[in-house]
Chain A
Amino acid sequence: MSHFLVSAAYYMQGIILVYFLAINSTYTLLILFALKDIVQNSYLSTSRGARRLLTSDSYYKPVSIIVPAYNESAVISDCIRSLLNLHYPEFEIIVVNDGSSDETIARLKEDFKLGAYLKPVRRQIPHAPIKNIYISGDYPNLIIIDKETGGKADAINAGINVSSYPIFCSLDADSLLEPDAILKSSKPFIENDEVIATGGIVRVLNGCLVKDGAVLEAELPKKTLEAIQVLEYARAFLSGRTGWNLINSLLIISGAFGVFRKDMVVAVNGYRKTVGEDMDLVMRLHRHCLDNKIPYKIFFVPDPVCWTQVPFTLAMLRKQRNRWHRGLLDSLLANRSMILNPKYGAVSLLGVSYFLFVEVLGPIIELLGYILIPVFYFMGLLDSKFVLLLIAMSLLWGISINISAIFLDTYNFRRYKKQKDVLRLCLMSVVDFLGYRQITLYERVRACFYFKGTQWDTQKRQSQ
């Protein structure tokens, strides 16, 4: 019997080791791809190129910016004001009040002189009933939809129906778009008919100096919990998203900031009512285009920036990560025809497989590793030298991946001007492994067991 245990232990170690090598190699590969993409980007897109959209009477496509809002009365007016300052020739802002129980509508009526909006609405995609639509007297490109609660996906669908323009951008109410973000993220649509969706980078707003709805100075937040998330977002976006551009397999466009072609989204029947509606939509777009042999491109543009609030307490963070993971599981489940399906090519075999094996199974195996390795060690099945070296290697490799992500960020974008901040981010690369990673890991595994429905999560608003 103990012989059986010993061989089982041996195989477990093997699996854990192989997984560890595979995952870290994948991250490293993604970072190398991302480096190439970022270098390429630095040559190809200049601010001069983006200005061409502005200095021409017609070289742009009008954009509808849809902002779903649930109980956001504290921030919604500021959000709208910052959007009104967007540097773009023609756009409309559609705020969708998803049956808020607070003062959102009353506040908006007061701040923006709302009157009735009578343009007939085409019900192209289904959603919960709309109660009223308003248009601002001061700003004729500001439209407010008041509807019954239906969730974020539902709210964006309503916005899509009401929108008048061929491109829309979905934006969170507590996020701040940079003034040229729409310019840079809509440029690919003008230059290539095949582009159907682009995502921009989401950065951490906590700790930054904000004035008049614009970020003046990017600074690292003082709290370690928030600072680690800066690192995490840099890693997730710059290495996690950019790398997929090369094989046209981008699967997540952040719900906080994504730009889509309306006709394609309508063709896949809009957003689905689910927790991870952003990933689900992108997966369905891939499927639709591959099934119908429509040439298409979905990619991540690292230049346009959206600043967003991140959780600043542990409880908020855990809830968020739990929700994200449930969303991931739901999207994979609903689109399971894309799992290891050669018909869908690289998107399925590489993109979806990555999410399945690295993002879903990975945390489980890693957690098993944390539990089993000490167990095996105390059972005398493992050499202490081996254990220590393994831990050192995994730590150092992980830290190098983190630092590479910071390097990618400073290569082209250099938002954090102070050297002190960059050094602190490097410190965070280490601190990441001293508990933060483990907490998110645990929460993700937990989410697998608590896999259930959709709900808006309220987040305590941090005053600025």
Chain B
Amino acid sequence: MRLTSSPHFYACLYIAVGLLAAFNIFEIVFMLFHKNRLDKSEIEKELLKHRISTAIITVTDPSEVLPKPVNAMNYAAYNEAVSSIIESFEGEIVERATKLIYKFEIDLYYKRLSRTTIWFKRAHAIDMLSSLKLKKNREFFYAVFKSEPVKEVRYRILYGLSRLARDREDIYSISKLLATLPYLTAKYTEDVFLNTITALKNAGKEEEFGFFLKQIMTNSGIPLKIKRDCLSACYLAGCERDGLIVKEYYNAFQNEPAIIIACIRTLANVDPGILPEVLHHKDWRVRLTALKYAHLGGTDLLHDLKDLVHDSNYHIRLNAALALSKLGDAGLEILRGETASTDKFAANAAKYALTGAEAAS
């Protein structure tokens, strides 16, 4: 009651109520206005993208028929339209699109944006620049990487750089820069190197990646995980010609299961001779990976596979049975025998693999 009898207290309450009421009304009005503006802006953006794409395909110099971008939405429209084109096409329309970007200084706009104080706006600008795949941006990306404090943005810069890789030196720099950052995920790193391989392929210099692999093999400055991801990227990109180098890795890193696993995927196809060795490797994950490719090893492995169906590890049993099912009649014979085994787990695995094989045939 002492509180409520003070006149100031009531004045405060009245002001608070008034402010709240005003705030509510303001919020509703602002929200509707904002929504309308965004809706209109989106429609305009789609129309502009349509115009841009049509201009690029029909006119030799599209900058003559298109309006200069003035606001963020315009720039976004140009960026999205052009990056769609650059992603999916090559040849003359890509050249026209690229010239358009330079003419309207779209890249400069995003370069400016990449220096704002708010980190996620910088990240966004970097993403937009990366999707344009402009070769001239290479130096810019290297420079920005050096001065960028936030690591989330740095990952994106490296990603953008990877799409512009020219030769083994470039890829080597990227891998060194990657090594300075905390390891993110295998998928991210693989993707970075896949980008570099794609960029090399498009320039007709696929063999540069093989040289790069050779270069970093004995380099202790590059962490093991990154080397492993490079090998995975090599496999995913279908680089069979690098089989010799992968074999060298296999021989050099016998103590590192992660590397062996990455090597098996490529080597199983070009050099199945390694299969018997890896099937008996002490690390179960190596054995497991070997099993997934065991069917390429031919009938020499039948005996080993039969033993592995009785392994204590669930994944090994299953994959051993599946490998047997892919080795023709001899394999199926063994599986049929195993279904009667006293080892219940082995019998189940065998039954599963058999029905799978029979359904396929």
Contact = CB atoms under 8 A, between A and B. Distances in A.
Do the two shown chains form a genuine complex with each other?
yes
Interface of A: 10, 40, 43-44, 46, 48-49, 52, 56-61, 116, 118-120, 122, 190-193, 381-383, 385-386, 389-390, 392-393, 396-397, 399-400, 403-404, 406-407, 410-411, 414, 417, 419, 422-423, 426
Main secondary structure of the interface of A (DSSP, over half): helix
A415 B174 CA distance: 41
A118 B185 CA distance: 34
Contact of A56 (B16, B27, B30, B191): B191
B39 A414 contact: yes
Contact of A120 (B10, B17, B39, B318): B318
Contacts of B187: 58-61, 190-191
Nearest to A53: B187
B4 A410 contact: no
Contacts of A120: 314, 317-318, 345, 348-349, 352
B35 A419 contact: yes
16 contacts: A48-B131, A58-B194, A120-B345, A193-B184, A382-B4, A392-B17, A397-B20, A403-B28, A407-B27, A407-B30, A410-B31, A410-B35, A414-B38, A422-B32, A423-B28, A426-B28
A396 B187 CA distance: 49
A190 B318 contact: no
Contact of A389 (B13, B190, B314): B13
A48 B80 contact: yes
B1 A192 contact: no
Interface size class of B (residues with CB under 8 A): 35 or more
The interface centre, meaning the residue of B20, B183, B317 with most chain A CB atoms within 10 A of its CB, is B20
A396 B185 CA distance: 47
Contact of B16 (A43, A57, A116, A393): A393
Nearest to B35: A410
Contact of A404 (B1, B27, B345): B27
Contacts of B194: 56, 58
Given A44-B120, A120-B345, A407 B14 contact: no
Contacts of B352: 118-120
Nearest to A61: B187
Contacts of A381: 1
Contacts of B351: 118
Closest 7 CB pairs of A and B: A396-B20, A43-B124, A120-B348, A118-B352, A389-B13, A43-B120, A407-B31
Given A40-B120, A389-B13, A400 B1 contact: no
Interface in B328-361: 345, 348-349, 351-352, 355
B35 A191 contact: no
A43 B123 contact: yes
A130 to B, nearest CB: 14
Among A191, A390, A411, chain B packs the most CB atoms within 10 A around the CB of A191
Nearest to A6: B1
A32 B123 CA distance: 22
B75 to A, nearest CB: 14
Contact of B318 (A56, A119, A410): A119
A403 B31 contact: yes
Nearest to A119: B352
A385 B187 CA distance: 64
A396 B188 CA distance: 48
Nearest to A190: B187
Contacts of B188: 190-191
A58 B236 contact: yes
A119 B356 CA distance: 9
Interface in B1-48: 1, 4, 10, 13-14, 16-17, 20-21, 23-24, 27-28, 30-32, 34-36, 38-39
Contacts of A191: 184-185, 187-188
Given A48-B80, A193-B184, A403 B120 contact: no
Contacts of A60: 187
Interface string B155-195: 00000000000000000000000000001110110110010
Contacts of A119: 318, 352
B127 interface: yes
Contacts of B32: 419, 422-423
B115 to A, nearest CB: 15
Contact of B14 (A56, A57, A389): A389
Contacts of B14: 389
A32 to B, nearest CB: 14
A403 B314 CA distance: 54
B303 interface: no
A386 B121 CA distance: 47
Contacts of B23: 400
Nearest to A10: B1
Given A44-B120, A383-B4, A389-B14, A410 B20 contact: no
A404 B24 CA distance: 9
A52 B131 CA distance: 11
Contacts of A10: 1
Contacts of B24: 396, 399-400, 403
A296 to B, nearest CB: 14
A422 B184 contact: no
Nearest to B13: A389
B184 A400 contact: no
Nearest to A416: B35
Contacts of B13: 386, 389-390, 393
Contacts of B21: 396
Given A407-B27, A426-B28, A44 B345 contact: no
A396 B18 CA distance: 9
Contacts of B124: 43-44
